[in-house]
Amino acid sequence: MLKQKLSQKLLQKLSPQQIQLIKLLQVPSVQMEQRIKQEIEDNPALEEGAEDINEYDKEESIDEINKDDHEERNDEVDITDYMSDDEIADYKLSSYGGKGGQQEEKPFAFGASIKVSFHEHLMTQLGMRKLEKERHALCAHLIGSIDEDGYLRRPIISIVDDLAFTQNIYTDEQELQACLSIIQKFDPSGVGARDLQECLLIQIQKREDGTRSLEDAELILNKHFESFTKKKYDYLMKRLDCDSESLKAAIDEIVKLNPKPGSGYSDQSKTNQYITPDFILRMEDGELLLSLNRRNAPELKISPTYRGMLESYAESKGKNKQQKEAVLFIKQKIDSAKWFIEAIRQRQETLMTTMKAILEYQNDFFMSGDESNLRPMILKDIATITGFDISTISRVSNSKYIQTEFGTFPLKFFFSESMTNEDGEEISTKEIKNELKQLIERESKQKPLSDQALAESLKTKGYNIARRTIAKYREQLNIPVARLRKEL
């Protein structure tokens, strides 16, 4: 049975301005220029340049003149129509740091280089071979199946089925294997291998010159590859009937080989990623000076043309429906531009407030550059100092960088958990990781320290840490286990 009743509810909802600010906060400055261009394209009322303060007085007078139409416009205006829900990119406003205006960058021309892709390089070599038409087609299909590292990952039998179903070409494994042998003779050496062992074998066989080290290297790869990967050197010396010097010479030959023969070509298609710092920290006369990087932060203003349209409408006597609709559109765009500019300003203030709090909390590190001076710091510590929510601090620290005299660091670098040493002092886990890294660097590579031995060594330094914690820190530092760190 349906019933109607009145009820009151107290709800908290984010305004469109708050949503826009949240999106802006979590975007690094390296994308800000793109976001600004996108906003200017979407909103014709937004322009680059310094704002004229007199324009605000004109708009206030226009609002006063048009106050009779306020109720009608409120009925027709939906704020979501001109609030952008797109993912916010980066932006820089020149409100903080530096000496004023942005310098215009002069465009420069550069020559475009023509690069040959990995597969094009292989196809060029295939074209130099005198092959039957059917075999040429099979080789071309195999080349297309080779990945960017230079490996043929798919089983031969699967490729046989692919040729039958997709190209109506019927062949067998023996024929495809013969085609693959042709490709494996191409440059770069090792291309067309189906696994790492075969890749290294192809390369070592091409280099074979009768020397003992190359012969031992081929024997290791062919017969004792698993023992080699597990660094069972005593077993290898026994099986090869050689001493440690001969084994070392053979392993040195293997180390010279390329495990990814196609990588030299695939890297050409990748764009180098450069870090654009969001903050710049300088030291002058013993004081730290913090500023925001303004390279991607042009000044923004409301378009004078759109303001002039509103002024003309206010001065006109006859106002028809079409004029009112046009003015309503203009007002929406101007309001949207205002909100965007205000969101950018709040973003800059939030970034600076947060970074200043981190700077104050980790002052010893920024003064010395010594990682041992880093204090344990979590998001809650900075949230308490700034008065912001923890989620806001998380958004600010995500994908943001600061440039210092000691290098460029991500903001997340300064956050770490704490542990208590034997003296009862709280220390950063980064300090423990540095000690662990130094211990491993100083260890004997012939007898590397186990995780238990590392835990005992750290305990003598006042860090009471369990073996499993050592293993976790070692994995975070991308350091292999003791068995894989062993050298001859």
DSSP 8-class letter at 21: H
pLDDT of residue 181: 92
HSE of 239, CA atoms in CB hemisphere, 13 A: 16
Buried b (16+ CB within 10 A) or exposed e, 108-140: eeeeeeeeeebbebbbebbeeeeeeeeebbbbb
Phi, psi of 301 (to 5 degrees): -150, 165
How far is Cα of residue 5 from the mean position of the Cα atoms in its chain? 53
Does the pTM surpass 0.75? The reply is no
Q: How many CB atoms lie within 10 A of CB 6?
A: 4
123, 140 in Cβ contact below 8 A?
yes
DSSP 8-class letter at 404: E
**Distance between CA atoms of 336 and 299, rounded to whole angstroms?**
16
Tell whether omega for the bond before 188 is within 30 degrees of 0, i.e. cis.
yes
Q: How many CB atoms lie within 10 A of CB 66?
A: 17
311, 432 in Cβ contact below 8 A?
no
pLDDT of residue 304: 83
pLDDT of residue 428: 72
Q: 283: which strand partners?
A: 288
- Token duo for residue 266: 């695939």
Tokens 């590190």 locate to: 365
* pLDDT, averaged in runs of 10, over the chain (488 residues): 80 70 74 80 81 52 46 41 39 41 43 69 91 90 91 91 86 91 92 92 84 89 89 88 88 90 66 76 88 74 81 72 81 85 85 91 88 85 90 86 90 80 68 85 86 86 84 87 80
| DSSP result, 416-475 | B-EEE-TTS-EEEHHHHHHHHHHHHHHS-TTSPPPHHHHHHHHHHTT----HHHHHHHHH
**Distance between CA atoms of 220 and 222, rounded to whole angstroms?**
6
Tell me which residue of 482, 478, 475 sits closest to 451, measured CA to CA: 482
Q: What angle do CA 231, 236, 239 make, to 5 degrees?
A: 160
pLDDT of residue 97: 43
Termini Cα distance of the chain: 85
Give the 3-state DSSP-derived string for 76-134, with helices as H, strands as E and coil as C: HCCHHHCCCCCCCCCCCCCCCCCCCCCCCCCCCCCCCCCCCCHHHHHHHHHHCCCCCHH
pLDDT of residue 1: 66
pLDDT of residue 46: 84
